[in-house]
Amino acid sequence: MRKTTGDKVFDLFNIAFMLLLLLIVLYPLYFIVIASFSNPDRINAGEVWIWVNDYTLKGYHEIFQHERIWTGYRNTIIYMVVGTLINVVITLTGAYPLSRSDFYGRKFFMLLIVFTMFFSGGLIPMYLLVKNLGMVNTIWAMILPQAVSAWNLIIARTFFQNSISNELREAAAIDGCSNLKFFLQIVIPLSKAITAVMVLFYGVTHWNSYFQALIYLRNEDLYPLQLVLRDILILSQSMSEMMADQDDYESLGETIKYGVIIMASVPMLVLYPFLQKYFVKGVMIGSLKG
């Protein structure tokens, strides 16, 4: 089918608009990369725009020598791995019964779950609860209060409703398969897509989490990477601890800031391509109907 002049102009306008939008989104990310390798004096002078200006690795050198960064990395990885494992197990085991039409009272439980999406006790009651449970200043304060997301639970439940048929369950029951065995040996292997989606959602949440640490943690040895990053970006006192020479603070501060941002973002950027196909498939299947 031949395109008219109007169609060509429309396509050209769309391409130009999308390229402009892509440039607006990508340039800040690109600037962070080139700024992390540029001389901090050039950054402060506003001379870094398109290319690396006066290449240097001083910022990364200071970052790699700072023990607090590596402690933050270690803590964040622990929180992400343990937390995501608990999140996925609870979400899948909770979503599957809610997807079963023969589960008595499932609408009532769904109503309670949806209710928590709109109303909560607030920050102070949550802190008092965590404190009374003895989880303040422990790793469990970063994991258990967010053990399950109502939104992710609904997505997983919808996936099970659309993907696991009653006929399959009935056939397994005829062969003597119990509910637990059916869930572990049939449902889980057939749910790789939604499992990958849950891993990605929860993993990114744990990796970027800092507010819970800000509220519940006092021991710096338990701080996640994002809280260390926050201190570097906001508190000049934290920055000064990273400097081999205190006089270099003003000049190296900008470079270190950009370098830490890259170090905090790279792991998630590396993980996403391996889960992308499952991510797209799982989200689309889980969004067909409520």
pLDDT tens track for 98-122: 988 888 888 899 899 889 888 887 8
Identify the band that residue 252 occupies on the pLDDT scale cut at 50, 70 and 90.
low
Burial 236-259 (b: 16+ CB within 10 A, else e): eebbeebbeeeebeebbbbbbbbb
CA distance 289 to 161: 9
Residue whose entry in the numeric block shows the structure tokens 């102009």: 9
Q: Which domains does the chain have, with CATH numbers?
A: 61-286 (1.10.3720.10)
pLDDT tens track for 177-211: 888 889 888 898 888 888 888 888 898 888 888 88
pLDDT tens track for 20-68: 998 898 888 888 888 888 887 777 777 778 888 878 787 787 777 777 8
φ, ψ at 143 (rounded to 5°): -120, -55
255 has a pLDDT exceeding 80: no
56-60, 159-163, 239-243, 253-257: segment of lowest average pLDDT: 239-243
CA distance 257 to 211: 19
**HEC assignment per residue over 87-138:** HHHHHHHHHHHHHCCCCCCHHHHHHHHHHHHHCCCCHHHHHHHHHHCCCCCC
Residue whose entry in the numeric block shows the structure tokens 């429309």: 10
Query: Is residue 216 within 8 Å of 178, Cβ to Cβ?
Result: no
Residue whose entry in the numeric block shows the structure tokens 């994002």: 226
* Residue with the larger pLDDT of the pair 238 and 6: 6
CA distance 260 to 225: 9
Prediction pTM value = 0.78
The whole-number pLDDT of residue 238 equals: 47
The whole-number pLDDT of residue 279 equals: 64
Dihedral of the CA atoms 139, 145, 147, 150 (nearest 10)?
Answer: -160
Alpha-carbon dihedral sign for residues 238, 244, 250, 254: negative
Which of 80-94, 145-159, 223-237: highest mean pLDDT?
80-94
pLDDT tens track for 122-143: 888 889 999 999 999 999 999 9
Average pLDDT over residues 76-92: 93
Give residue 126's identity as a one-letter amino acid code. M
Query: Is residue 231 within 8 Å of 238, Cβ to Cβ?
Result: yes
Strand, coil or helix: 49? coil
Q: Which residues contact 287 (CB under 8 A, 6 or more apart)?
A: 155, 158
The whole-number pLDDT of residue 89 equals: 94
